[in-house]
Structure 1
Amino acid sequence: MTRQFPTPIFALLLTLMLLPAPALVAETHYITDQIEVTLRSGESTRNKILRMLPSGTAVEVLSQNSDSGYSRVRINGREGYILTRQLQREPSARSQLQSMRERIEELQASPNKLQSRLAELQGDYAQLQQQHQQLQQQHRQATDELQRIEQTAANAVRIERERQQLQQQVDQLSSNREQLLQQNSQLQKQSQQRWFLIGAGVLVGGILLGLILPHLRLRRRSSWDRL
């Protein structure tokens, strides 16, 4: 007895067998523009190659020869010849692309740098604000101290004025004292002179009385004798 496959399964297997084999997955690649040009010692391919210059290298063009198709150039102080068709006035596409990539990376990094700079500035601002508050407090303290000094100076001026007034009074009293001392000295001298004169007068009077009284007694006796 012959074995038969179910019709649906057989049809599915037949369909799978008839399908083409799957193609290999292709990857896209690009031809690089990284090329090198020769810097030669002369204006032909027979001249010696001095060095290889990568694409995008900047050179200084000294002269161009349209007949030979070469240009005399200088790079890093060294001169040589390069095919004129291998030179262009604008940087290479690779160099421009690299510059654009660097610019994009710089722009992408700018927000982070700006945020970092902002945080730094905020920190500086907070520090400056704290310093400002400290300076304000120091200013208030200095103002209070200045007011105390001014008050002390005013008191010192007042005290000095009072001292000068007292000194003037002392000088005046000293002058008055000297005058009184001089007057007392003069009065004392005058008193001594007066007492001396009084004493001398008393002495002279006593002497005169001593001389006169005996005569008076004699006269009285004579008068009594006559009676």
Structure 2
Amino acid sequence: MELKIYMTMLSRMAPLLFFSILLNVDDLFARSAYVAELQQITQRTGPSTDHRIVKMLPSGALLTVLEESDGWLRVRDADGSIGWVLLRFTTTELPARLQLEQLRQEHADLREASGGAVGRIAELEAAKHQLESALSESIRNHDVLEREHTTLLSEAAHVVELRERHDTTMAQLEQAQVRVRKLSSDNEELRASERLRWFLLGGGIVFTAWLFGFLSGRMQRKRRSGLQY
């Protein structure tokens, strides 16, 4: 069923396709041509000067050649107008004047493009100089920070050394205080022992003196008693 519908549609479209091909058959074999170095040439309705002039074509106009017959060309111009022109007034190459204008335009375009490129290069150079300046400034800042960091490390090491010396001194001071307290204790004990020794020595002297006095008194009394008898 679908195939039948497809064949029916194709049979209906075939005349349209064939007619379209006939309309464009000239384009299948067409070639390009230009109006030669003249002010302008005539485009006529037929291949002779007896035919009516359709329009005037300027020098350098681009033409699409559809047919050639007895020194005449059937052409279509850029506006789509179809007519006949003399073959000897056409050329297959772009006329020198138009080539020169084209070269001038290309040269101007190149200059404009190169000018833009030069401007872009200048912008890039300026950006490069700015980046180099920023890099130099960053390097200088890095050197300053590096020196400050080194100084801080040195100061920190000095602080650590001072802290260690302080701790050592405090430990030595504490040991000295312990020794002083021990010496003070020993001194107090020595003083107490010395006082006791002197006390005992003084007591011994007093006792000896008392004993000597006591004995001397008895001896004297005995002598007096002996003399009385």
The equivalent residue for 1:114 is 110
C-alpha distance in structure 1 between counterparts of 2:222 and 2:102, whole Å: 169
Distance in 1 (CA, whole Å) between partners of 2:216 and 2:25 is 181
Does structure 1 residue 150 correspond to structure 2 residue 146? yes
Please, which moves more after superposition, 158-167 or 182-191?
A: 158-167
CA distance in 2, matches of 1:131, 1:175: 64
Are residue 83 (structure 1) and residue 79 (structure 2) matched? no
1:138 to 124, 134, 144: 134
CA distance in 2, matches of 1:219, 1:115: 151
| Consecutive unaligned residues in structure 1, runs of 5 or more | 1-39, 44-49, 51-71, 74-79
Compared CA separation, residues 87 and 208, structure 1 to 2 (3 A):
farther
Letter of the structure 2 residue corresponding to residue 86 of structure 1: V
Q: Work out whether 1:161 is the aligned partner of 2:161.
A: no
CA distance in 1, matches of 2:29, 2:102: 23
Offset from partner CA, 1:78-114 (integer Å, 9 cap, x none): xx7542882554666446986x98x978765332222
**Structure 1 residues 127 and 82: CA distance shift in structure 2, 3 A:** closer
Structure 1 pair 136/189, CA: closer, same or farther in 2 (3 Å)?
Answer: same
Measure how far apart 1:180 and its partner are: 0.4
Provide closer, same or farther for how the CA distance between residues 161 and 85 of structure 1 changes in structure 2, counting only shifts above 3 A.
closer
Task: Say which structure is richer in helix.
Answer: 2
Shift of the alpha carbon at 1:226? Answer: 5.0
- Larger RCO: Structure 1 or Structure 2 (Cα < 8 Å, ≥ 6 residues apart)? 2
Structure 2 counterpart SS, 1:186: helix
Deviations 1:95-136 (A, max 9, x none): 6986x98x9787653322222222222222222222222222
2:190 corresponds to: 194
Cα–Cα, structure 1 residues 87 and 226, in superposed 2: closer, same or farther, change >3 Å?
farther
Q: Percent identity?
A: 12
Q: Secondary structure at the match of 1:83?
A: helix
* Distance in structure 2 (CA, Å) of the matches to 1:95 and 1:197: 145
Q: Distance in 2 between matches of 1:115 and 1:85?
A: 42
RMSD: 3.5
Q: Deviations over 1:146-191 (max 9, x none)?
A: 1122222222222222222222222221111111011111111111
